[in-house]
Amino acid sequence: MRVTVIGSGYVGLVAGACLAETGNEVVCADVDERKISRLSGNDLPIYEPGLEPMVARNQSEGRLRFSADVDAAIRHGKVIFIAVGTPPGEDGSADLKHVLEVAASIGRNLNESKIVVTKSTVPVGTAEKVRAAIRSHSATPFFMASNPEFLKEGAAIDDFMKPDRVVLGVDSDEARETLGQLYAPFVRTGNPILFMDIRSAEVTKYAANAMLATRISFMNQIAQLCDLVGADVGMVRKGIGTDRRIGAAFLFPGPGYGGSCFPKDVAALIKTAVDIGMTPDLWQSVEAVNARQKRILLERLTRRFGGSLAGREVAVWGLAFKAETDDMRESPAIPLIEGILTAGGRVRAHDPKALDVARVIFGDRIEYAKDPYDAVQDADALVIVTEWLVYRNPDLDRVRGALKRPLVIDGRNLFDPERMERQGFEYVGIGRGRA
C-alpha cells in the first residue's frame, strides 16, 4: 500500500519505518529539511533502540523514503497519516496549528480519493476540523479516521510492531477496510484492532495517558505518606500490584512524570473539560501532585545541606525523562538542575544518551561527565533522576570513595536503603520511610 506519514518525529518516524517493514511503500515527510537530509543518510536525530537498522534496511530496500516536499508526499499516499507535533498552547490546550497546516496541504494536493488519519494526539473533535479544512480546498472525496498512537519512547518499535491493541476511529467502510488491512500484520498474535467512532478514538488516547499519569501521581502521594509514617512504598507497591484488579504496571513512585506526552495531554484534557463546563478536579489534582513531585529531589537535597546549596557540587545521574531515550522534554532533571544553579551550586551530570540534548538546554552552565564515576568525583552529593540500567549495579565502594559526602538522593529507588547504609551512604529514596 502507498502510505504517507507527515511529520517525521518520534511517532512519524517509528510508524513510517514499521509500516515499510511490513511491505508498504512509505514516504515520511517533514518541513524540517535538515532532519530529512539526515534521515535520508540513515542518521537519526533521536535515539530509539532498534530504529536505526530498521530505517537503514527499509531505505536500502526501497520501501522507505524521506522527503521535505510535503505536497509531493501527500500525492504519493493512498493513506495519509498526520503525525506532526501538537505542543501545548499557552492555555494548556493542544495547539493544532501544525495539524491544520497539514490538512490544508492535503486539501490542495488531493489528487485521488484518500484516507486521512490523525495519528497525532488531538482533542476530541479535531478529525472534524481536519475534514473541514481539507474540504475547504478540495471537492475530491476522501475518508477521515483517527488512529491514536500508544507507543512508549524507549520501546517504540516493539510497541508498534506488537501493540496491545490498535484503536481505529472510523466512519466509513473504506477507512475500516483499508486501515484494517494495513494493521493486520501487527495483530497476528490476536491482540485486537478496536474499531470505534472517531470521537471515542480521540478520547481514548487522552483517557489512556490520564489514567497512567493518575497512577503515577497516586503512587507518588502514597510514597509521601510512606516517608512520613515510616513505611516502605516498595512493599506497598507489591502489596497492591499483585491484586489483579489493580495490576503491577505503572506503580513506581519517582521524581514526577515528564516527557512529551503526559504533562501536555493531561493539561489538554483539563482544558477540553473546562471548555465544555466540566469540573476536571481529579486530573487537576494529578497535575498538582506531579508539579510538587518535580520539586522533591531539590527540596530533599537542599534540606540535607541545611537549606543552602551555595558552593556545593552536585552529581546528577540521568537527564532523560526516563531510561532508553534521549528525550528531555519536561524531564524532572531540568527543574532540579535549574534549582541547584539558582541556589549557587554546581552540577556535573551524566546520561548515557541525553548529553547532546542537555548541552542545548544548559550550554556551559553545567559540566558533562564522561561516565557515572566521573560525575561523582569530589561531588558533595549524588542525585539519581533516571533509571538507566547502567546505574543499577555500579561499584558502590568506588562511588562512595569518590564523593566528598556520601549522600545519595535516589529519585528512582534503585538501591536497598539498608544495604546503602551498611556501605556507608547517607541514602534518601522516595517513600522508603526515611526522608
Q: Given candidates 35, 63, 322, 348, which one binds ligand NAD under the rule CB under 6 A?
A: 35
261 a catalytic residue: yes
Distance separating alpha carbons of residues 323 and 153, to the nearest angstrom: 9
β strands within 260-416, DSSP E: 313-317, 346-350, 367-368, 381-384, 407-410
Is the Cβ of residue 12 or residue 429 nearer to ligand NAD in the bound state?
A: 12
Return the sign of the alpha-carbon dihedral for residues 341, 344, 345, 347.
positive
Is the Cβ of residue 97 or residue 365 nearer to ligand NAD in the bound state?
A: 97
Q: Is 48 in the site for ligand NAD (CB under 6 A)?
A: no
Q: Given candidates 85, 280, 339, 372, which one binds ligand NAD under the rule CB under 6 A?
A: 85
Q: Given candidates 5, 18, 80, 83, which one binds ligand NAD under the rule CB under 6 A?
A: 83
Own/partner pairs, 279-284, CB within 8 angstroms, 24+ separation: 282/214, 283/210, 283/214
Q: Given candidates 4, 58, 86, 272, which one binds ligand NAD under the rule CB under 6 A?
A: 86
Is the Cβ of residue 327 or residue 380 nearer to ligand NAD in the bound state?
A: 327
Contact 211, 286 (CB under 8 A): no
Own/partner pairs, 223-230, CB within 8 angstroms, 24+ separation: 223/253, 223/430, 223/431, 224/431, 225/431, 226/431, 226/432, 226/433, 227/430, 227/431, 227/432, 227/433, 227/434, 227/435, 229/433, 230/433
Nine cell digits for residue 90: 499557552
Other Cβ atoms closer than 10 A to 429 = 28
Q: Is 269 in the site for ligand NAD (CB under 6 A)?
A: no
Q: Is 257 in the site for ligand NAD (CB under 6 A)?
A: no
Contact 266, 209 (CB under 8 A): yes
Residue closest to ligand NAD, measured at CB: 9
How many residues contact ligand NAD, by CB under 6 A? 27
Of the candidate spans 31-39, 163-171, 340-348, 402-410, the one that interacts with ligand NAD by CB under 6 A turns out to be: 31-39
Q: Given candidates 3, 4, 5, 6, which one binds ligand NAD under the rule CB under 6 A?
A: 6
Tell me the closest approach of the beta carbon of residue 82 to ligand NAD, in angstroms: 9
Of the candidate spans 9-17, 239-247, 314-322, 360-368, the one that interacts with ligand NAD by CB under 6 A turns out to be: 9-17
Of the candidate spans 4-12, 188-196, 357-365, 407-415, the one that interacts with ligand NAD by CB under 6 A turns out to be: 4-12
Half-sphere exposure of 176 (CA within 13 A, CB side): 9
Given 18, 28, 226, 261, the catalytic residue = 261
Give the dihedral of Cα atoms 386, 391, 393, 398; nearest 10 deg.
-140
Q: Is 30 in the site for ligand NAD (CB under 6 A)?
A: yes
Q: Is 85 helix (H, G, I), strand (E, B) or coil?
A: coil
Of the candidate spans 98-106, 137-145, 186-194, 399-407, the one that interacts with ligand NAD by CB under 6 A turns out to be: 98-106
Is the Cβ of residue 266 or residue 384 nearer to ligand NAD in the bound state?
A: 266
Q: Given candidates 5, 7, 131, 222, which one binds ligand NAD under the rule CB under 6 A?
A: 7
Is the Cβ of residue 102 or residue 116 nearer to ligand NAD in the bound state?
A: 102
Half-sphere exposure of 431 (CA within 13 A, CB side): 25
Of the candidate spans 24-32, 129-137, 173-181, 240-248, the one that interacts with ligand NAD by CB under 6 A turns out to be: 24-32
Tell me the closest approach of the beta carbon of residue 31 to ligand NAD, in angstroms: 4
Of the candidate spans 83-91, 214-222, 229-237, 402-410, the one that interacts with ligand NAD by CB under 6 A turns out to be: 83-91
**From the centroid of its chain, how far is CA 232?**
28
Distance separating alpha carbons of residues 2 and 17, to the nearest angstrom: 13
Q: Given candidates 84, 144, 175, 354, which one binds ligand NAD under the rule CB under 6 A?
A: 84
The string of DSSP codes covering 134-175 is HHTT--S--EEEE------TTSHHHHHHS-S-EEEEESSHHH
Query: DSSP label at 410?
Result: E
Is the Cβ of residue 44 or residue 231 nearer to ligand NAD in the bound state?
A: 44
Distance separating alpha carbons of residues 91 and 272, to the nearest angstrom: 11
Determine whether 1 is exposed, middle or buried from the number of CB atoms within 10 Å of its CB (0-12, 13-18, 19+): middle
Q: Is 151 in the site for ligand NAD (CB under 6 A)?
A: yes
Q: Is 120 in the site for ligand NAD (CB under 6 A)?
A: yes
Tell me the closest approach of the beta carbon of residue 47 to ligand NAD, in angstroms: 12
Q: Given candidates 9, 169, 255, 332, which one binds ligand NAD under the rule CB under 6 A?
A: 9
Q: Which residue has the cell 538501591?
A: 415
Applying CB under 6 A, the residues found at the interface with ligand NAD are 6-12, 29-32, 35, 70, 83-86, 98, 101-102, 120-121, 149, 151, 153, 260-261
Catalytic residue IDs: 261
